[in-house]
Amino acid sequence: MKLRTQLTLPFVVLVLLLALLLGVLSYRAGKSAVDNLSGQLLFETVNRIGQAVDRHVAGSAAVLEAAFPRGVPAPRSLQNDMAALRTRFWLATSVHRDPNNYAYYGDRHGQFFGLWRFSETEAELRLRPQGSGPREIYRFSGIAGTLGTPAVEERIFDPRERPWYRAAQTSAAPTWTSVYIDFKTTELVATRTRRVNNAAGEFEGVVATDLSLQQVNAFLQRLKLSANGVALVVEADGNIIGVSRGPHLSAREGKHPRL
């Protein structure tokens, strides 16, 4: 081997080893920086999702208190207490109309009173005053507006069979239901519920307000994610509440089961 080769070969090997070492160190440093940045972005995204969910649940307790103040006993007959109920529930749905635009009450006799707000002035009453048969739907304008001719629902709605009623019936304190599919809209909702006692202090009915999770889903779909990124809000049992791409409900045989 020539002397020149013997002298230069170690330097060439040393340079190659240094270059390789620098490449490995640069890769590890870059990977660490990318991982840290990805973690920060993920944490920020999760916080934003949490804030959006919090906005949907804030104020539900105030809605229930306005609809049925504590200490006010449940009425024996919804028909006889209709004027007071209309006033209180109109005020209740004015507290946080977005998203709490619906407040309602159902009792152990199957009677039902619900007020849904479409806007500041337009609303509808959903009534089942006799405790049997389908509900009657009345459109009206303003807090004391005249009720129009009712439309009668085709399906039978019995409040005692709904998840929100059963959840409050077995709980002494206000509670949240698990997410379920709404009877009328087939949208995913979670419901804040509270039991209402009669004048004797016995359980009589349940007052409730819904939180539609459609807006949570819309928020997730507006998030800026990578082409392969997906943001989900999931219940503890694995059911999807909201997803950033694709539906959280699937239409199948006229029904809308959750994914």
Q: Is residue 5 part of a domain?
A: no
Strand 188-197 versus strand 203-212 pairing type: antiparallel
The answer for residues whose C-beta is within 8 angstroms of residue 124's C-beta and 6 or more apart is 115, 116, 118, 137, 138, 139, 140
Q: Is residue 75 part of a domain?
A: yes
Q: Is residue 224 part of a domain?
A: no
Q: Which domain holds residue 150?
A: 60-212
At 255, list the tokens: 């029904």
pLDDT at residue 206 in the model: 97
The residue ranges of the chain whose pLDDT is under 50 are 259
* Domains identified in the chain, total number: 1
**CATH number of the structural domain spanning residue 66:** 3.30.450.20
Q: Is residue 29 part of a domain?
A: no
Q: What is the dihedral of CA 199, 201, 203, 205, to 10 degrees?
A: 40
pLDDT at residue 81 in the model: 92
Rounded to two decimals, the pTM is 0.73
Tell me whether the omega of the peptide bond preceding residue 129 falls within 30 degrees of 0, making it cis. Answer: no
Q: Is residue 187 part of a domain?
A: yes
Question: Residue 206: is it exposed, middle or buried by C-beta count within 10 angstroms (0-12/13-18/19+)?
Answer: buried
Q: Is residue 47 part of a domain?
A: no
Q: Is residue 250 part of a domain?
A: no
pLDDT at residue 133 in the model: 93
Q: Is residue 103 part of a domain?
A: yes
On whether the CB atoms of residues 210 and 184 are closer than 8 A, the answer is: no
pLDDT at residue 211 in the model: 84
